[in-house]
Amino acid sequence: MPISDWPKADRPREKLIAHGASKLSETELLAIFFRTGSRGRSAVDLARDTINQFGGLRPLLDASLDEFTQVPGLGEAKYSQLQAATELAKRYLQEKMQRSHNLTSPELTREYLSAHLRHYPYEVFAALFLDNQHRVIAYEELFRGTIDSASVHPREVVRRVLKHNAAAIIFAHNHPSGVAEPSLSDKEITETLRKALRLVDVRVLDHMIVGDGEVVSLAERGWI
């Protein structure tokens, strides 16, 4: 049955207007985004089948174009729209962090770093450069590596810190395996960077490990 024939109170778009987006399921939100279904399936049917096929919203958002278009009813247009929406969400978080004046919310920091790093199939080592009031100056992805490691060069980190005139820094990198548990090498490179940056009077506030659905803080573990 087409969504237009549904009771008004059950239609996703009308439910959103009446109750707010937070009251809708992922299927209903994705159906609004898709706008139309495919032959014999409503937008809600297509959204439900898509989420089920990928095993959740996160794998769907991380899917490549080839993976996405394997689903009947999904093409390049919907893929482009979804990627644009994902990028808008990242930029929203970045602007929210920059306007929040300082990093008073660890959860916001986790969301921001996860949005930027969790989808990479290889390790990426990044940094948030902060001023002396812990306001965000810049975010940079400094080093890229393989599926299980990334070479980190302290001299380059110091150079970037001085360029931004940063007073503090938060490091982050992803674990493509999806397991966010810090390794011994993660602890060792953090200590190496902490010692190098102490020479230029820059504080390392944290090093966050981004996994699939989890971000682990070395500072909260007492390792910084």
Report the C-alpha gap between 124 and 111 in whole angstroms.
16
Domain end point (choices 39, 59, 88): 88
What is the model's pTM? Answer: 0.67
| Confidence (pLDDT) at 102 | 57
Point out the domain boundary residue: 88, 112, 136.
Answer: 88
Angle at CA of residue 202, ends 197 and 204, nearest 5°: 80
Domain that holds residue 52: 3-88
Q: What is the pLDDT of residue 20?
A: 92
Residue 75: which CATH number? 1.10.150
| Angle value at C-alpha 163, between 158 and 165, nearest 5 degrees | 90
Q: Are residues 21 and 83 in the same domain?
A: yes
Q: How many distinct structural domains can be found in the chain?
A: 2
- For residues 67 and 138, state if they share a domain: no
Residues 212 and 107 in one domain: yes
Q: Is residue 133 part of a domain?
A: yes
Q: 222 in a domain, yes or no?
A: no
- Residue 99: predicted pLDDT: 57
> Measured between alpha carbons, how far is 200 from 129 in angstroms, rounded to an integer?
14
Distance of CA 48 to the CA centre of its chain: 23
Whether 113 and 211 map to the same domain: the answer is: yes
| CATH number where 194 lies | 3.40.140.10
The answer as to whether 149 is a domain residue is yes
Does residue 210 share a domain with residue 119? yes
Q: Tell me, what's the pLDDT at 100?
A: 56
Q: Are residues 71 and 170 in the same domain?
A: no
Residues 115 and 212 in one domain: yes
pLDDT value at residue 51: 92
Residue 93, in any domain of the structure = no
Angle made by CA atoms 161, 162, 163, in degrees to the nearest 5: 90
Query: Mind listing the pLDDT tens digit of every residue in the chain (224 residues)?
Result: 567 778 887 789 899 999 998 888 999 999 998 988 877 788 899 999 999 999 888 789 888 999 999 988 899 999 999 999 888 888 887 777 665 555 657 788 898 899 889 888 899 999 999 999 888 899 999 999 876 667 899 999 999 999 999 999 999 999 998 899 999 999 999 999 999 999 999 999 999 999 988 999 999 999 88
